[in-house]
Structure 1
Amino acid sequence: MSEQERRAQIMEAVERLLARGGINAVTMRAVAAEADVSLRLVQYYGNTKDELLSATLERLAEKSVQRWRARVQHEGSKAPLDVIKLFFDEALPTDTVSEDFHRLGVSLEALSISDPGVAGQAYQSHLSGLADELADILRPDLTATIARRLALEVMGLAHGVASLLMARQLSERDALALIKSYLARLEPLLST
């Protein structure tokens, strides 16, 4: 097995542990057992839990952005409102994969709030980069400051609705209706 494949195997083990049990489920020994490798090999790819979480976060962040970009590219529309809709489509946990991904994000968010170490800083950096990317898409129609605020608003709403959906406080139908209503309110702002 190549070094890249072995690294992926270990990061996938961290992802599965996070998805099942959150941050507390991730220990060096648990990762080794989940990946079916030695503890020493896990330590080779991350000397500490924080390093493993940080590397896993970077991998997850890239996968998330790639999935969103693929949706945008597939749809072919560059209109800001369409891109925002696709952002919501990607962010809402409507299947097992997206539910696991949201669970991972919430775990890492909690880490960034409670322990702003390496992994917490990596998550904060991911959020900032995502806001920048979304703001860049909105920028042709808005000032840089307003585009950045709107990007953060969209991210906040997506995260909140996703969490309410996962906590079964909103049905998928109600979540989609809420997003549709929000997009309708945004339309005048983005079409001027």
Structure 2
Amino acid sequence: MPKLVDHDERRAQIIDALLRTAADTGLHAVTMRSVAVEAGISVRLVQYYFDTKEQLLLAAVNRLTTRMGERVRDRVRAVGPAPTPRDIVEAVLLEAVPTDEESRVFHLVHTEYAVLSVTDPALGGRDFLAAPDEMEGFLVGQLEAAQRSGATDPRLDARQEAAVLLAASAGLGLSVLLGQRTPEDAIAALRYHLGRLFPGS
């Protein structure tokens, strides 16, 4: 009796092959053929699951985004049963700093995808474009909760602060990728700013 194919597992195998290839050669150099070679399957099989390279790239970015959310939740759970808004904000921002191979691949691929999508409309998927807005809205909610509890200045504009926090964390994460600073230095800079935003916490 022929073995039944687990289609979700096969899709994951192809996406993982793309991520390994992108981490080695850069996202711009990835082809359906290079992914097939890395996965040990035929190009035709890759195309069975993903009609175009663009579909495959977007699936990979969406998977990375989901995994990043899981890592943030793991960080929050590690704090304890009653995390404060600062704990949650810090967990989100620290995940923007490449500190291990998984997070390095996430930021490398995510950054390359963002740059490529500027000139390739086929890469501007709704899910990819919506993710930063959703994260900003989430941070606004945490900052407003901190204002209500007295943990941060009630006069601050929570939306503007959230935008600055995301921009700062993204910039620091990129500087780590480029070798301009160490992950430890980037984390120290983020915590320095959070200390000013949440005095006494």
TM-score w.r.t. the length of structure 2 is 0.83
Q: In the alignment, is the contact (CA less than 8 A) between 2:94 and 2:169 conserved in 1? A: no
Give the number of aligned pairs.
189
Match for 2:56: what amino acid?
L
Q: Please identify which structure carries the higher helix content.
A: 1
Partner of 2:151: none
SS of the equivalent of 1:122 reads helix
Partner of 1:20: 24
Which of the residues 100, 110, 113 maps onto 1:108? 113
Q: In the alignment, is the contact (CA less than 8 A) between 1:112 and 1:124 conserved in 2? A: no
Partner of 1:78: 83
Partner of 1:174: 185
How far apart are the structure 2 equivalents of 1:139 and 1:160?
Answer: 24
Partner of 1:39: 43
Q: 1:48 to 1:157 in 2, by over 3 A?
A: same
How far apart are the structure 1 equivalents of 2:145 and 2:108?
Answer: 33
Question: Which structure has the larger Rg?
Answer: 2
Q: Cα RMSD (Å) of the superposition?
A: 2.3
Q: Which range moves more in the overlay, 2-11 or 122-131? A: 122-131
How far apart are the structure 1 equivalents of 2:123 and 2:109?
Answer: 16
1:65-144 equivalences in 2 (<5 Å): 65-76=69-80, 77-141=82-146
Match for 1:8: what amino acid?
A
Structure 2 runs not aligned, ≥5 long: 148-153
Match for 1:10: what amino acid?
I
Q: 1:117 to 1:15 in 2, by over 3 A?
A: same
Q: CA deviation at 1:121?
A: 4.0
Q: In the alignment, is the contact (CA less than 8 A) between 1:102 and 1:162 conserved in 2? A: yes
Partner of 1:59: 63
How far apart are the structure 2 equivalents of 1:133 and 1:108?
Answer: 23
Q: CA deviation at 1:140?
A: 2.5
1:32-55: per-residue Cα shift (whole Å, max 9, x none)? 111111111111111111111111
Which of the residues 2, 16, 24 maps onto 2:6? 2
TM-score w.r.t. the length of structure 1 is 0.86
Structure 1 runs not aligned, ≥5 long: none
Q: Which range moves more in the overlay, 134-143 or 57-66? A: 134-143
Q: CA deviation at 1:13?
A: 0.9
Q: In the alignment, is the contact (CA less than 8 A) between 1:50 and 1:119 conserved in 2? A: no
SS of the equivalent of 1:91 reads coil
1:3-52: per-residue Cα shift (whole Å, max 9, x none)? 11101100111111222222222211111111111111111111111111
